[in-house]
Amino acid sequence: MPKRVIYTSKPIDRKYEYAPAVVAVRAGLIFISGMVGWDEDGKICEPNDAARQAERAFVNLRDVLAEVGTTFDNVVMETEFVVDMSTYPEIARVRRQFFGDSRPAATLVEVSRLFKPEILFEIQAIAVLDEGDGGIAKGK
- The edge-to-edge listing of strands for the beta sheet with 105-110 is 3-6, 21-24, 29-36, 121-128, 75-82, 105-110
Least confident of 16-20, 32-36, 69-73: 16-20
For position 133, what pLDDT does the model report? Answer: 56
Residue range 115-125, pLDDT digits in tens: 999 999 999 99
Residue 136's pLDDT band (boundaries 50, 70, 90)? Answer: low
pLDDT at 16 over 80: no
The one-character DSSP state at 87 is: G
Spatial separation of the C-alpha atoms in residues 45 and 53, rounded to whole Å:
6
Q: Does the pTM of the predicted model rise above 0.85?
A: yes
Number of domains into which the chain is organized = 1
What's the domain range around 120? Answer: 3-138
3-state secondary structure of 80: strand
Higher per-residue confidence, 121 vs 23: 121
3-state secondary structure of 123: strand
CATH number at residue 99: 3.30.1330.40
Residue range 76-87, pLDDT digits in tens: 999 999 999 999
